Amino acid sequence: MSYDLNTNKITKFSNKKLFLIDSSAFGKIEELWKITGTNLLLLMEQSQKVHFFLSNEVCVELMKGPRELDCKFLIDHIINVEGSGSYDLKENKFIIEENGQTKYIVLNKISWQDYNQVILCQNHPELILVSNDRKLLKSAGFVIKDRVIGINALFDEMIKLEPGYKEYRSLKSKALEIFELKSIK
């Protein structure tokens, strides 16, 4: 059922590039907003070329702490996870398809929440996962290949898609100045 609901929601934005924002990326975006006064998510909301999503698990995690962004704003951006399991466990086993063959691989142990985000992207090839978590970036890179990026690459993508928005360049510049942004190596 979650798969069908997600597919319906994702299909509404089929003319846009779709990003699934991880909690680590959300935290950096929010921190950058506090410093610069410019919110990347609000800019993305206004864009005709992109849309972002958060998994319901990420939203629950984010709402545990104080947030600057109104929860009502996030409602249109929530998609449901499509897996289930114990949140006390860490997972590292994935099934992938490579060269027409189904393979089972073992990677870095990541949280169940992160695992579910990779599964969401695996099930919905339109989604690009955005994270600042090195283990997640590495594991997801094996499973969903070039559809996992760090925040720096998200800024690059936004600059490429909307070169007229100087806000993306200034946010990227400030982010590079204050954060150690992760990349896949």
User: Is residue 73 included in any domain, yes or no?
Assistant: yes
Amino acid at position 77, single letter: H
Confidence of residue 185 (pLDDT cuts 50, 70, 90): very low
Kindly state the tokens that stand for 133. 């978590």
User: Is residue 98 included in any domain, yes or no?
Assistant: no
CA–CA distance, 135 with 111 (Å, rounded to integer): 10
- As beta bridge partners, residue 111 has 90
User: Is residue 101 included in any domain, yes or no?
Assistant: no
Instruction: Count the alpha carbons within 13 Å of 2 in the hemisphere toward its beta carbon.
Output: 14
Name which of 43-47, 62-66, 119-123 the model is least confident about. 62-66
Residue 104 CA, distance from chain mean position: 24
Name which of 7-11, 89-93, 138-142, 157-161 the model is least confident about. 89-93
Q: Identify which of 10, 18, 21, 2 has the alpha carbon closest to the alpha carbon of residue 113.
A: 21
Q: Identify which of 73, 33, 82 has the alpha carbon closest to the alpha carbon of residue 55.
A: 82
- Mean pLDDT of the 134-160 span: 90
What is the reported pTM?
0.85
Neighbouring residues of 173: CB distance < 8 A, sequence distance ≥ 6:
none
Domains identified in the chain, total number: 1
pLDDT value at residue 110: 73
User: Is residue 92 included in any domain, yes or no?
Assistant: no
User: Is residue 109 included in any domain, yes or no?
Assistant: no
- Mean pLDDT of the 88-99 span: 62
Kindly state the tokens that stand for 114. 């992160």
User: Is residue 166 included in any domain, yes or no?
Assistant: yes
Task: Kindly tell me if the per-residue pLDDT of 94 is higher than 80.
Answer: no
SS3 label, residue 163? coil
- For residues 143 and 92, which has the higher predicted lDDT (pLDDT)? 143
pLDDT value at residue 65: 72
Kindly state the tokens that stand for 12. 């509404």
Domain span at residue 67 reads: 2-84+117-178
Q: Read off the CATH number of the domain in which 46 is found.
A: 3.40.50
User: Is residue 103 included in any domain, yes or no?
Assistant: no
- For residues 11 and 179, which has the higher predicted lDDT (pLDDT)? 11
Task: Kindly tell me if the per-residue pLDDT of 104 is higher than 70.
Answer: no
User: Is residue 20 included in any domain, yes or no?
Assistant: yes
Q: Where are the beta strands (DSSP E) in the chain?
A: 17-21, 50-55, 78-79, 90-98, 101-111, 127-130, 148-149
